[in-house]
Structure 1
């Protein structure tokens, strides 16, 4: 018997979870109970408050990441315009920071389990660092964020990447479930459900099969770590020199920085050095140190990209300015609200 486990979490979207639930229940009815479907949580049996006016749904048990079959993770329902604790990004990030992430990681390591997602469910997994390098889709508002986590976004209704099957916006839960029914039980059962529901799937499920379209044959742009000249915009200021005579920038030194994200503050140590017209930097958070990607200085403005893993896995784009020993600016990931960045220089490596 095929087991389907639909995972609920506080703030989950009702339609993301219950539309597939009904499809799988219909599949069980039409196949003489060839499958069973359960509502579960990472913690165990409990009433789970949905993100739709807190409507509670009862989960019958605990997710078993070692049980063969299908695991489905829905997205969240909440505020899509603010960056407060009830916003969709905040709910997804909180979920990614629970033990659910470890359980899904375990499930993805098994050959007899398909992990599926609907809408923001793929973002939960991506924010937990589980989908880097994988093909997936989410709600159209979250596609930039999905890409910022290292996922390869595909603009399709359903993306079938082997043991990972993801769906786009909220109503794609019907399409994901029907695709999985067809894949596991066959097209006749899936077609019978479509007739019963008077619903026809939209679009083609994307798979990494067949010829590759020319539009997908692109090369990654390479950017150099150059300090751009701003003489055409502002008069040049006298260069800052260190004791060895190498030209440096106003950003050089050690910085204590705080990033105020919608899901909590991040304390980061920045180390920035410029030599012979090239800027390099690292960011340290806890025991993890990462290098700046594509840093560019223009006068007192510095931009760069950086991957973070806490409080979620994201590729952030920084845009900051310096005023003496203070640093201010923003960090942004896709369409997520910009996070405020502020810091103070702890140690300078240059002299005027």
Structure 2
């Protein structure tokens, strides 16, 4: 399993680094069955996050033809007004808000590449925190089941996504996670699903992390009476 973690200007570092470490450790534990890299829509470059100017280096370009996992983090910064950002309106808090930073991805090549990746049957799209909103703003997950940070659930719902209040939501080739630290749980879940529970458990023990929250899948009968 090869994982491409996509960086964009204003990304949230923990959304990216937490799963990166999980997948890297999974590669070690599995004898190389998992690989992971940081990529961007533009190719190799320094990408500045939304947290204190911290930058990470993308070592390659996002390749929508490569089988595996493509993971989209959210952005970091001030909360701001999500609907105003999507409508192109300035809410008066400047351009350092999370919604504005996510909306700016729509003016890059990223949406085209993400659509191509989602059209590839051999790719699973994964997101952490506001990463699902990046996909939703690009019109790529309407009608799908997904989650995001609790502050963005209303916006996600407004884009036509079936919102699920869970830590991790597995909708087949789309796997989304909630708030920032859920990137650890997402990484471990994907290791378990794609490589095996023993590898995932070994990494979980090494990281001294106990997975938390609900992992939701659209399986079984519909609940009634609630």
Give the alignment's TM-score, normalised by structure 1: 0.60
Q: Does 1:97 align with 2:107?
A: yes
Q: What's 2:67 paired with?
A: 68
Per the alignment, in what secondary structure is the counterpart of residue 56 of structure 2? strand
1:211: how far off? 1.9
1:55 equivalent in structure 2: 54
Separation in 1, partners of 2:108, 2:149: 22
Say whether 1:120 aligns with 2:130.
Answer: yes
| Contact 1:16–1:75, Cα closer than 8 Å, also in 2 | yes
**2:3 aligned residue:** 4
Deviation at 1:215, TM superposition (A): 5.7
Alpha-carbon shift at residue 203 of structure 1 (Å): 2.2
Corresponding residue number in structure 1 for 2:160 = 150
CA drift at 1:81: 4.1
Between 1 and 2, higher relative CO (CA 8 Å, sep ≥ 6) is seen in: 2
Task: Give 1:173 deviation, angstroms.
Answer: 0.3
2:131 pairs with 1:132: no
Helix, strand or coil: the match of 2:22?
helix
CA spacing shift, 1:148–1:31, aligned 2, 3 Å: same
Unaligned runs of 5+ in 2: 82-90
What aligned pairs does 1:255-270 form with structure 2 within 5 A after superposition?
none
Whichever structure has more strand as a proportion of its residues is 1
Matched, 1:159 2:169: yes
Kept after mapping to 2: 8 A contact 1:20/1:176: yes
**Following the alignment from structure 1 to structure 2, what is the Cα–Cα distance between the partners of residues 81 and 150?**
21
Whole-angstrom CA distance in 1 between matches of 2:80 and 2:44: 32
**Which one has the bigger helix percentage?**
2
Secondary structure of 1:37's aligned partner: strand
CA contact under 8 A between 2:80 and 2:99: conserved in structure 1? no
Query: Normalising by structure 2, what TM-score?
Result: 0.93
Shift of 1:111: 1.4
Matches within 5 A, 1:250-289: none
CA offset digits 1:65-110 (Å, max 9, x no partner): 1100000000000111464211001001111332111111111111
Over the residues paired in the alignment, what is the CA RMSD in angstroms? 1.1
Q: 2:38 matched to 1:39?
A: yes
- Mean CA deviation greater in 32-41 or 207-216: 207-216
User: What is the number of residues matched between the two proteins?
Assistant: 215
The equivalent residue for 1:262 is none
Distance 1:215 1:55 in 2: 49
Question: By how many angstroms is 1:32 displaced?
Answer: 0.5
Pairs within 5 Å for 1:292-331: none
In the alignment, which residue of structure 1 is the partner of 2:87?
none
In 1, Cα distance between equivalents of 2:107 and 2:152: 18
Is the Cα contact below 8 Å between 1:13 and 1:74 reproduced in 2? yes
CA distance in 2, matches of 1:87, 1:99: 21
Runs (4+) of structure 1 exceeding 2 A deviation are 81-84
Deviations 1:145-197 (A, max 9, x none): 00111111000000000000000000000011111000100000001111111
Q: Looking at CA atoms only, which structure, 1 or 2, has the larger radius of gyration?
A: 1
8 Å CA contact 2:74–2:131 kept in 1: the answer is yes
**Structure 1 portions without partners, runs of 5+:** 217-352
